[in-house]
Amino acid sequence: MNELIKKIHSVAKSLGRVKLMEVCGGHTNTVMKYGLKEILPENVKLVSGPGCPVCVTSQKDIDAVVEMALNGIKIATYGDMLRVPGTKKSLADARSEGADIQVVYSVDEIKEKDRVFFGIGFETTTPMTARLLEKGFTVFSAHKTMPNAMKSLAQKMKIDGFIDPGHVSTITGSKMWEEINLGVPQVIAGFTPEAVTRAILLLLEMIKRGEKRVKNDYREVVLPNGNIVAKRLINKTMKPIDAEWRGMGIIPNSGLTPRKEELDARIKYADLIKNIKSIENPACKCNEVIRGLIEPKECPLFGRKCTPENPQGACMVSETEGACAIAFKYGGKK
Ligand code: SF4
């Protein structure tokens, strides 16, 4: 590790200001847990991107599912989604008012066909939702795909290099990243502190050489073509759509929705959710945290009004992927 840090400092000497981004909640966790930002030279900044699926789920989608639940539609979803604040209520609030909301760890726990699964996540969790669709269950899909979101970030935020999401890459494969060409160096990395530190070094070396290619440094898990079975299942049951991301707006072809309209809760319950007016909490800076514009601790509510026990925004909910919750866990209150 010491050798890697020394090399990072040595390569960085010949570079100007460099902004790198990790876009996987797992990497954010490693970076904050091991204080990796602190070991970097002054001219190298590592920012966290939109790698937390709970965080990037739009307020509108949360409000829509709360509305469905309050109108008697049975819902199933993952535990973290329960506590994300909506405009007026969270799913936890709806449940305390009597809404039927089942918290699941696996989609296999959903047995009733009239229960709607609120599916979130990137390429990694989408195969589970695809499996549910194959069995004929109805889904409210807030699933997102990474490539176009990263393209948008590379252009708008002037990112000099990406640590590509490791888990997502196990499904997509490394070839996909080569094909979409983000125009900046990328390293597919594992999740140990050494793996993330090595990814930073590899990115700096590529920047120094002027290379804009993809390096797969997680070969033990990420294959060139990814998980072909999972990709086939997703393609069979879901199709790409333009999706709304918290903090990033609508990004073309960055979401997935059920191919069969009769299994798409957005269509099935369109009348219930069409007039929802969503407003994000103006005091919450999640929008900026998600794009790496500010660090969680720069939000005035961090650790004061906003804590994991009482989240005021989506980024304080998931202790494994939400940048604010992770910063709170490893960095204290302020
Ligand atoms: S600390 Fe809380 S209020 Fe501030 S950006 Fe994070 S989630 Fe939002």
Q: Ligand 1 centroid vs 31 CA: distance in angstroms? A: 19
pTM for this entry: 0.88
Q: What is the pLDDT of residues 68-94, one digit of tens each?
A: 999 999 999 999 899 999 999 999 999
The two domains 2-46+164-216 and 54-145+228-273 share their CATH topology (first three levels equal) = yes
Q: How confident is the model at residue 187 (pLDDT cuts 50, 70, 90)?
A: very high
Identify how many contiguous H helices and E strands the chain contains and give both numbers: 15, 11
Cβ contacts of 292 within 8 Å, gap of 6 or more: 19, 21, 47, 48, 49, 153, 157
**DSSP assignment, residue 264?**
B
Ligand 1 site residues, Cβ closer than 6 angstroms: 284-286, 289, 296, 299, 301-302, 306, 312-313, 315-316, 324
Q: Which atom of ligand 1 is nearest to the CA of 324?
A: 6
State the average pLDDT for the chain: 92
162 pLDDT more than 90: yes
Q: 131 CB contacts (<8 Å, ≥6 apart)?
A: 107, 233
Do the Cβ atoms of 30 and 219 come closer than 8 Å?
A: no
Residue with tokens 């073509």: 225
In ligand 1, the atom with minimum distance to the C-alpha of 306 is: 2
User: Which ligand 1 atom sits nearest the alpha carbon of residue 285?
Assistant: 5
Per-residue confidence (pLDDT) for residue 334, from 0 to 100: 41
Q: How far is the CA of 61 from the centre of ligand 1 (A)?
A: 19
The answer on pLDDT for 320 being more than 90 is no
With beta carbons less than 8 A apart as the criterion, state whether 301 and 289 touch: no
Q: Is the pLDDT of residue 309 over 60?
A: yes
Q: Could you name the CATH architecture of 2-46+164-216?
A: 3-Layer(aba) Sandwich (3.40)
CATH superfamily name and code, 54-145+228-273: HypD, alpha/beta domain 2 (3.40.50.11740)
Other beta carbons within 10 Å of 195: 17
Q: Is 57 helix (H, G, I), strand (E, B) or coil?
A: strand
Q: What is the pLDDT of residues 89-146, one digit of tens each?
A: 999 999 999 999 999 999 999 999 999 999 999 988 999 999 999 999 999 999 999 8
Pocket test for ligand 1, best of 289, 295, 334 (most atoms within 8 A of CB): 289
Q: Where are the domains of the chain?
A: 2-46+164-216, 54-145+228-273
Pocket-testing residue among 84, 310, 315, ligand 1, by greatest number of atoms within 8 A of Cβ: 315
Range from 1-5, 13-17, 192-196 carrying the lowest mean pLDDT: 1-5
